[in-house]
Amino acid sequence: THATIGGVQENTATADHDTIGGGDSNETGGPRATIGGGDDNTATGDRSTIGGGGINTANNQYATVGGGYSNEANGDYATVGGGNDNSANANTATVGGGGSNQASDNYATVAGGQSNTASGAHATVGGGYENQAQGQYDTVSGGHKNIVAATAGAIGGGENNDIDANSTHATIGGGYDNNITTNGDYATVGGGYLNTASAISATVSGGDSNTAQGDASAIGGGEDNSIGANGDWATIAGGQNNTANASWATIPGGRDNAANGDYSFAAGRRAKAYHQGAFVWADSTDADFASTGDDQFMVRASGGVTMQTNGAGLWFYGDVTLGDGDTLYADKVSSLDDPLELQTNDTTHVTITTAGRVGIGTTPASTVTLDVAGNVKASGTMYASAFSSLSPLLLQTSGTTRITVTNEGNVGIGMNPAPTATLDVSGTARVHELVISGGADLAEPFAIVGAENVKPGMVVAIDPQHPGQLRIADRAYDRTVAGCVSGAGGLNPGLTMEHEGTAAKGSFPVALSGRVYCWADASYGPIQPGDLLTTSDTPGHVMKVSDYERAHGAIIGKAMSSLDRGRGLILVLVTLQ
């Protein structure tokens, strides 16, 4: 009853107080439903309203479709302002217009655009294309293919940006392909390209391919910068390919820097602060410059370092160490002839004049280079250099040279002419105890026939054709065996004896006793430590003794290491018998 139809073209008002203002094929089924006009519109909800348009539907109480085409308001108090193929399918959901937009949860809103979806309660999509606000209180202002899946997340715009379902209250301002992934509650990506924030309150302001994985970490911008999962509260301001993976670590910018210690700082190029509290600044040199310990302050400045204090002074508390070949320069501010003074407790202990004269415990006299007031004790090394580069250092008594030190470092005692060995003694040397640390066998130098084929570790025997000389042993159980050439396996002779100007001299040190590496051939039988060894038919090689009768007088010594097969070096204790 009390229904009203203003037009006559197949409009139908079937409920009390329904109203159809005009149009064609419109239908109300309220009660109190209203269709203003248009065609093929259906308003079946109590007090529902369709202003006009075509094929629009308002099926719930107080639902409203303002107009447009093929729009649906299917929730209580739902509203579609216009456009086409839009749906407001939950209570108090709203679609302002556009095309193919959906507001599918209570109080969800899509203002406009195309193919946008607000599927969380109180979610909002401002516009754009193919955007989704899937969680409660989510917002996508616009852009293309942006998705917010968590509670109270927000994307301002851009394209292909995404907030994961487990990252509540997160924000992406815009840009392209930016992400806030799992566990990114309160995280922020301002914009840029391929940036990721994946920890609580992490921030990437912008740039390209930056990643913040530490809680409350921050990257200002740049490219390929990364804060790792251990980088809580870490900061990278910008730059390229910088890495921070420790708490409170900081990189202000630059390239290829790393701050991987808690409270560490790295800046410049390839500065590596690997330790807690380390401060590392590196210049443009393309090489790593890395900390070596906690709480270091390290600077690489290939062009030099200048510190200007305007007279306040520069103070060091602790040791000052210079690298090899480096120089410490000091320059007084005054133009007067002021010396450099080194003090402790306000007392001058060392004075260096501008003329280069040094005084220890005193002001140096003008006639000397070093002036010492007090005793001199050398517990380390004392160096002395002659005026001429051709002259050795001579220590004399009563006008006679007792010790000579050449420029090459050779020391001669009682030598005339100058020494030719590291230590050259003319006379008798007496020692209480002699320790030799550079070798392990007692050797004599020999001339060996066929020297071009000799190599360290070969077994040699007496050469009957050349008295006093040796040859390479080349037959089994050779009773002329003499020893093994020293020097194989990095094991050198410990003591070499020779008599100059006699037959007891040669080019090859041959071990007569002690430990030496010798070439061995295990094809005659595997060799184990303790086996007696003799010569073999393999030139220069020992073998295991198997015929003890033939071995009498042909044994070179005992094996101290094993050789199961083939040929190789073994350690031998030389004991000729």
Say what the pLDDT of residue 325 is: 60
pLDDT of 287 over the 60 cut: yes
Say what the pLDDT of residue 386 is: 43
Of 365 and 472, more confident: 472
Q: Average the pLDDT over 188-202 and give the result.
A: 98
Q: Average the pLDDT over 390-419 and give the result.
A: 72
Contact residues for 408 (Cβ-Cβ < 8 A; gap 6+): none
| 352, 332 Cβ separation under 8 angstroms | no
Round to whole Å and give the CA distance between 273 and 260.
Answer: 6
Q: How many CA atoms lie within 13 A of 139 on its CB side?
A: 11
Q: Average the pLDDT over 291-309 and give the result.
A: 92
Q: Average the pLDDT over 292-299 and give the result.
A: 96
Tens of pLDDT, residue by residue over 330-348, are 544 333 456 777 777 778 8
Architecture of domain 441-575: Beta Barrel (2.40)
126 pLDDT band (50/70/90 cuts)? very high
> Which residue is it, tokens 């979610």?
123
pLDDT of 58 over the 90 cut: yes
- Range name among 38-47, 121-130, 336-345, 363-372 with the lowest pLDDT average: 336-345
pLDDT of 576 over the 70 cut: yes
Q: Average the pLDDT over 484-488 and give the result.
A: 94
Say what the pLDDT of residue 439 is: 64
The beta-strand segments (E) located in 399-521 are 400-405, 411-413, 423-425, 441-446, 459-462, 470-472, 481-485, 495-496, 508-521
Say what the pLDDT of residue 297 is: 96
Residues of the chain above pLDDT 90, percent? 67
Q: How many CA atoms lie within 13 A of 465 on its CB side?
A: 4
Question: ∠ at Cα 458 (452, 459), nearest 5°?
Answer: 120
Say what the pLDDT of residue 375 is: 78
Q: Average the pLDDT over 181-189 and give the result.
A: 95
The overall average pLDDT reported for the chain is 89
Q: Average the pLDDT over 306-335 and give the result.
A: 63
Residues of the chain with CATH 2.40.300.10: 441-575
pLDDT of 405 over the 80 cut: no
Q: What pTM does this model have?
A: 0.60
pLDDT of 389 over the 50 cut: no
Tens of pLDDT, residue by residue over 135-160, are 999 999 999 999 999 999 999 999 99
Round to whole Å and give the CA distance between 72 and 15.
Answer: 20
Round to whole Å and give the CA distance between 259 and 291.
Answer: 10
Q: Average the pLDDT over 30-53 and give the result.
A: 94
Strand partners, 163: 148, 180
> Which residue is it, tokens 């590596």?
272
Say what the pLDDT of residue 167 is: 96
Question: ∠ at Cα 15 (10, 18), nearest 5°?
Answer: 70
Residue 367 one-letter amino acid: T
Q: Average the pLDDT over 497-516 and give the result.
A: 81
| 481, 536 Cβ separation under 8 angstroms | no
- Range name among 106-110, 190-194, 395-399, 491-495 with the lowest pLDDT average: 395-399
DSSP 437-451: -S--EEEEEE-BTTG
pLDDT of 568 over the 60 cut: yes
Tens of pLDDT, residue by residue over 457-467, are 999 999 999 99
Round to whole Å and give the CA distance between 355 and 365.
Answer: 11
Alpha helices in 106-261 (DSSP H): none
